[in-house]
Each structure stands twice: as C-alpha cells, then as structure tokens.
C-alpha cells in the first residue's frame, strides 16, 4: 500500500460500474489504489480482478464461493472474507479513504451505513440506499461528518451544475431519461415484450437489473427519490423529461429562470472519475462530444399511463416513511421474476401497485423497520406471483 495514493474500496467490483471504476483507477494509477474489492456471486471475475490489482482485501457475499476464492488467491498476501456481514465490515476499514458503493439493490444499504459511520467519503452508485432509507442516511452523513458524491450520470450532472453556485436557490431539477427500448411502444405491444428485448438498452451498457428498471422507468423513479435526498428539494421541484439521445444528462433551473445542463457522451467512467477526483477534473482520453455529428436534441414528456412506475415513485416519495422501501423491495422481486420470464412486463407494475396498497406502512421507520419491511414485502410480493 502506497500512502500518498487514495485508497478505494469498490463494493460490487464485478458489476458494470465496478469494472469501469477499476478501469478509471488503472488509468490513474499514480493517484488511486484499490484497497478492497467485493462481489456477490461472480467469483471467477473477482479472482481475476484480485490477481490484477492485488488489493489488501477481497470479499464475496456468497459464502459457498469462499473456498474457491481463498485457494485461488493463496499465493498472494490478500485477506479473504465471505458473507454479507464481512462486506459491511470491509466498508469501515480504517485505511480506506473512499468507498464506491456499486452493489445492486437493497444489499448496498448496510455496507453504506457502516462506511458513513466510519466517516468515509461515499461515491454512491447504489441508488437504492437513498431510495430505501434516505432520511436515515442523510442524518448519519451529518452526524459522522461523511460526504456523498453521486455517481449516477443524472445526479452527477446535477452535482456538476450546482458546483460553484453557492447558496443560489434551486427552482427545479430536471432529470433526463432516455425512455429505454420501449419508448415508442403502446400498451398492447408492451403486453408482449420479453426480458431479452428489455435488456437491449439503446444508449447505455448496464447490468441486467438496472437495464430492466430503465425499460420500465423504475430507474428514473428511483432517481427522483434519490435526488430529493441528495439535493434537499421537494418532490414538486423535480421534473423528468425524456431525451432519447442521452447527451444532456440532467439540468438545474435556478430562481432567475436560468438553466444549466451537463452534457457528454453516454459513458459512466466520467461521473465515476469525477466522484473520485472532486473538486478537480483530470484530463482524460474519453471520446468527446462532436456537435458536427450530434446535431439534434429532442425532448418528450414521460407517459405515466404506459410507464406507471414513475407515478409510483412520486407517490412513494410524497407518502414518505417506509413506502419507498416497500416500492424498492417489490420491484426487486418482480424484476427477478420478469428476467426469468415468469411474469409479463406490465405485470410488474400491476403487482407493485397491489403490494404498495397492502404492505404495512410505517410513518417514522427506524433501521430495524427498514429491514423488517424489506423482508415482509419480498414475501408479500412473491405471494402475488405464485
């Protein structure tokens, strides 16, 4: 371990964000060093990453992979751990300067909390953390003098637009959405789309869960909730506009009516690197936006009749309490079932609506309430699918 390099832990190093973060670190090896990497199931890729970057610590959530991981890395001085508790403990290790939380779904909540409690800077790519427990997370960040730097392209764009604006009042945040692969399909056509079709995003290369969420607009719904907590605005101050080119990543409208936008080609390495280096910007060899080629930007209003998840997110955000947690847990189950072709595309929203109506609501949840809600809602959601 070289002391003058920023020590980074990547929770979810085998996913889309995690692998791109490792590329950013490799391209800036004089500034960053990988201290810890973790994965859920992809043990072979985790082993390859460990051999290449030789971190101090490697952990895998699925304990059945522990022996293979340990044996494969036995010739290297790497500490090996397994289990969800171990990943949470990795996040709070003293030597770590920044934790990139790139785990998928609810599983990112506890490790992020542990990292915040240890006073780490958080590069947040796990939107579900703020969706599920935004108020708790914000309170912990303030209490432990931590900091959250957004990695999602939309929230990074807003963050970049706000940099240098001091206390200038925000009138509106405008999140852009690509519209996904089904933007032009009607309800009849949406009844028959398959998971294979949904996985073909027109602009972004992402993991399966987030790609399905993008196709259903749930991803954008979660980003609305996340934006509320990241930037301290009310639901009424957050708009969504469909921008199929995915060049404008989001915008901020200020009290004087002026709008600032952050533009760039669809490439997650830029917001990852910005989170790692903030407030500095490093020279990169990323592809540049060429206005000779990108000659037309278009905008549309999102259709909440075809894509009801967006409306669910606004409802959950306004209801507050554990309702966003209910929405997230139900969504994780229906997406998993849709990926197995057990339910249809539109059925995902039908089931979530029923679950939100029937799940137990808690107005002022504690961490234990979130844990109990997540477990109960997963079981409730599964009962609608059987």
Query: Higher-confidence residue: 145 or 208?
Result: 145
pLDDT of residue 224: 96
Tell whether 95 and 169 lie within a shared domain: no
Extract long-range pairs of 372-379: CB within 8 Å, 24+ residues apart.
373/322, 373/325, 373/326, 373/329, 374/106, 374/132, 374/325, 374/328, 374/329, 377/325, 377/326, 377/329, 377/330, 377/333, 378/329, 378/332, 378/333
Tell whether 46 and 172 lie within a shared domain: no
User: Residues with Cβ < 8 Å from 250, sequence gap 6 or more?
Assistant: 153, 154, 155, 157, 158, 161, 173, 174, 175, 176, 261, 262
70 is a domain residue? yes
- Work out the pLDDT band at 204, boundaries 50, 70, 90: low
Query: Higher-confidence residue: 206 or 19?
Result: 19
Boundary of a domain, candidates 319, 353, 378? 319
338 is a domain residue? no
Tell whether 122 and 186 lie within a shared domain: no
Tell whether 307 and 189 lie within a shared domain: yes
pLDDT in tens, 350-375: 999 999 999 999 999 999 999 999 99
- The count of residues in the chain is 386
pLDDT of residue 211: 87
345 is a domain residue? no
34 is a domain residue? yes
Tell whether 51 and 186 lie within a shared domain: no
Q: From the CB of residue 145, how many other CB atoms can be counted at a distance below 10 Å?
A: 8
Quick check: 2 pLDDT over 60? no
User: Residues with Cβ < 8 Å from 168, sequence gap 6 or more?
Assistant: 254, 255
354 is a domain residue? no
Query: Higher-confidence residue: 258 or 106?
Result: 258
| In the chain, % of residues over pLDDT 70 | 98
Tell whether 129 and 171 lie within a shared domain: no
pLDDT of residue 207: 74
pLDDT in tens, 155-177: 999 999 999 999 999 999 999 99
Boundary of a domain, candidates 319, 334, 360? 319
Quick check: 386 pLDDT over 80? no
3-state SS assignment for residue 257: coil
Tell me which residue of 60, 123, 114 sits closest to 49, measured CA to CA.
Answer: 60
Domain total of the chain: 2
Tell whether 165 and 277 lie within a shared domain: yes
Average pLDDT value for the chain: 94
3-state SS assignment for residue 60: strand
Tell whether 59 and 174 lie within a shared domain: no
Tell whether 215 and 236 lie within a shared domain: yes
- Work out the pLDDT band at 1, boundaries 50, 70, 90: very low
Boundary of a domain, candidates 295, 319, 343? 319
Q: 267 lies in which domain range?
A: 155-319
Tell me which residue of 320, 325, 311, 315 sits closest to 359, measured CA to CA.
Answer: 325
pLDDT in tens, 127-138: 889 999 999 999
pLDDT of residue 203: 64
Tell whether 167 and 300 lie within a shared domain: yes
Tell whether 209 and 256 lie within a shared domain: yes
């Amino acid at each position: 371990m070289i002391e003058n390099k920023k020590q980074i832990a990547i929770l979810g190093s085998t996913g889309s964000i995690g692998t791109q973060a490792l590329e950013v670190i490799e391209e800036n090896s004089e500034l960053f060093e990988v201290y810890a990497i973790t994965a859920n199931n992809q043990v072979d890729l985790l082993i390859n990453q460990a051999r290449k970057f030789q971190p101090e610590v490697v952990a895998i959530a699925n304990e059945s992979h522990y022996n293979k991981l340990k044996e494969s890395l036995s010739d290297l001085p790497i500490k090996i751990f397994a289990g969800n508790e171990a990943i949470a403990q990795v996040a709070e290790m003293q030597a770590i300067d920044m934790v990139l939380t790139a785990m998928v779904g609810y599983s990112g909540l506890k490790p992020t909390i542990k990292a915040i409690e240890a006073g780490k800077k958080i590069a947040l790519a796990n939107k579900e953390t703020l969706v599920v427990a935004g108020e708790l997370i914000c309170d912990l960040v303030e209490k432990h003098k931590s900091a959250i730097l957004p990695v999602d392209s939309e929230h990074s764009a807003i963050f970049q637009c706000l940099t240098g604006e001091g206390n200038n009042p925000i009138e509106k945040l405008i999140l852009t959405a690509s519209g996904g692969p089904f933007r032009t399909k009607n309800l009849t056509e949406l009844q028959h789309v398959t998971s294979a079709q949904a996985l073909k995003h027109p602009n972004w290369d992402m993991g399966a869960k987030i790609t399905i969420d993008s196709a259903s607009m749930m991803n954008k719904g979660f980003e609305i909730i996340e934006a509320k907590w990241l930037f301290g605005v009310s639901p009424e101050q957050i708009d969504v506009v469909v921008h199929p080119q995915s060049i404008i990543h989001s915008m901020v409208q200020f009290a004087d009516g002026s709008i600032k936008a952050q533009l760039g080609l669809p490439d997650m390495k830029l917001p990852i690197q910005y989170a790692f280096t903030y407030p500095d910007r490093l020279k990169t060899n990323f592809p540049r936006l060429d206005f000779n080629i990108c000659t037309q930007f278009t905008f549309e209003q999102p259709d909440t009749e075809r894509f009801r998840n967006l409306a669910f997110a606004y409802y959950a955000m306004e209801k507050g309490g554990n309702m966003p947690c209910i929405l997230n847990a139900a969504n994780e189950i229906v997406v998993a079932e849709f990926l197995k072709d057990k339910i249809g595309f539109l059925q995902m929203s039908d089931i979530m609506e029923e679950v939100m109506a029937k799940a137990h609501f808690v107005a002022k949840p504690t961490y234990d309430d979130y844990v109990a809600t997540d477990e109960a809602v997963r079981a409730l959601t599964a009962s609608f699918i059987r």
